[in-house]
Amino acid sequence: HLPIPTECPAILPRCLWGARPYRGTPALLRPPLGSVFLHHTLEPAQPCWTFSTCARAMRDMQRFHQDTRGWDDIGYSFMVGSDGYLYEGRGWHWVGAHTKGYNTQGFGIGIVGDFTATLPDPDTLALVRDELLPCTVRSGHVQPNFTLHGHRQLGNTDCPGNALFQEIQSWPGFQ
């Protein structure tokens, strides 16, 4: 086992990626939550490797979620770029729109890219597995005995892609 870092990884706030305001009145989550739901964004299909391309991907996803899907905000709690950063979506406090029927029970983490045939790079996987997931527990947002699920386990979808879904089956908490 790798040593657990004492700090949480930096999460870039919404203002840094240029988020639009939330529409409506967000619903509060009631931590500690029991689950973490892992997603791939599919669009954009390519991982983002720089802050500027990742920030643009966040704005594009938020625009799609708000304008096309009619949601109040970007659906994910957090997004993960291949630039080494975590991006705040709905964050720690607000119910997301990531896993229909389960949004009040867990955080939704979207890794930018299409991971049907290929995996995210090793640093991105390590950021989620070795830093973000332990941080969610240490910070009291998620129960120590949390379950990790791929989106497909709870809905009619291929998300988080075959390659990524295969990978997370060996991660702590996977059920």
Does domain 28-169 match CATH 3.50.50.60? no
- Strands 142-150 and 78-80, by their bridges, are unpaired
Express each pLDDT in 49-91 by its tens digit: 999 999 999 999 999 999 999 999 999 999 999 999 999 999 9
Position 43 scores a pLDDT of: 87
Q: Does an H or E element contain 165, and which?
A: helix 162-168
| β 106-111/78-80 pair status | parallel
pLDDT surpasses 90 at 2: no
CA dihedral over 111, 62, 42, 146, signed as positive or negative: positive
Its pTM stands at 0.94
Instruction: Give the domain ranges of the chain.
Output: 28-169
pLDDT at 40 over 60: yes
Paired strand residues for 107: 36
